[in-house]
Amino acid sequence: MRAQLSLALALGVVVAPEVADARPFDEWQGGAWFHYELTALHDIEDTKADSPANQLILAGVRIHGFVGQSETIGYHVGLDFAFGGTLHERGFAYDVALFPVGVGVRFGRTGVIAFGAGFQAIGATTTIDDAVALPLEVNLELGDGRLRFLARGRAAYIAGADGRQSAAPSIAFADELDATVGLRIGHHYEDYGFPSGNGYFVGASYRELAGTRFAGLVIGYSIDMSTPRKAVNPKPHVGEPYRRGCPECD
């Protein structure tokens, strides 16, 4: 339960700034998810025939959350960061992205699809030119039981680093592409009134980076937590006002 309590604190950080207008806390809906990930990639095609990178390993964390007054739609923010290296060339690699603008759409108790836009710094010493990027990212998490489907896709436009521009042959509107899909096997909890879950996951990862197509595996551990959905009294008795929440709990 320490993992769930830690994520509850993270969810509080997301929610707290939004309640500054003194609205009741139970009027707000939100959720958050936290990933530890280790990704190992190997090149499968060098589309520019001059890329020095052929293996890439990154270990990092993804922290995302959303909050809003709607039962379904909320404001989404996220932070991704990972560090590692290119093996044969022994270069230090990094990938850090901040998503201050986005929207999250909730499904079921803890499922969500979230879209984010932001800023990214990515590169590797001796192998991949340092660059600042403008990424668009989509996250998908579905499943409230022991099994949970995880997916993420990111397309980025490179600002600077001319050699890395137009380096994603699969898409015309972006310079680089990154995608991951995985399946988590774990647990679901309803403790303290917050639906949550955690567990280990394994999946596949794909990247088009600096003119090279990479494919590989990702393993990790993830936690998710959401506020409980509010029951609604759809047909109040005569003289009883329509209200949110649990009528028996008022």
**What is the DSSP secondary structure assignment for residue 126, as one 8-state letter?**
T
217-228 confidence digits (pLDDT tens): 999 999 999 998
Instruction: Give residue 167's pLDDT.
Output: 61
Burial class (CB in 10 A: 0-12, 13-18, 19+), 250: exposed
Under the banding of pLDDT at 50, 70 and 90, the label for residue 30 is very high
Q: Which tokens sit at 162?
A: 């001319």
Nearest CA among 104, 107, 106, 82 for reference residue 93: 82
Give 89's DSSP letter.
Answer: T
* Structure confidence at residue 34 (pLDDT): 96
Architecture of domain 2-18+29-230: Beta Barrel (2.40)
Which residues on neighbouring strands pair with residue 177, listed in sequence order?
155, 208
Distances (CA, A) of 7 to 15, 70, 231: 12, 21, 24
Is the torsion defined by CA of 120, 64, 81, 152 positive or negative? negative
What mean pLDDT do residues 22-35 have?
Answer: 77
What is the value of pTM for the model shown? Answer: 0.78
Listed in sequence order, the DSSP H helices in the chain are 2-15
17-21, 91-95, 190-194: which is most confident: 91-95
Structural domain boundaries in the chain: 2-18+29-230
pLDDT band at 244 (very low <50, low <70, confident <90, very high): very low
Percent pLDDT > 70 in the chain is 74
Tell me which residue has tokens 């190997």.
42
Per-residue pLDDT tens over the stretch 52-90: 667 889 999 999 999 998 889 999 999 999 999 887 777
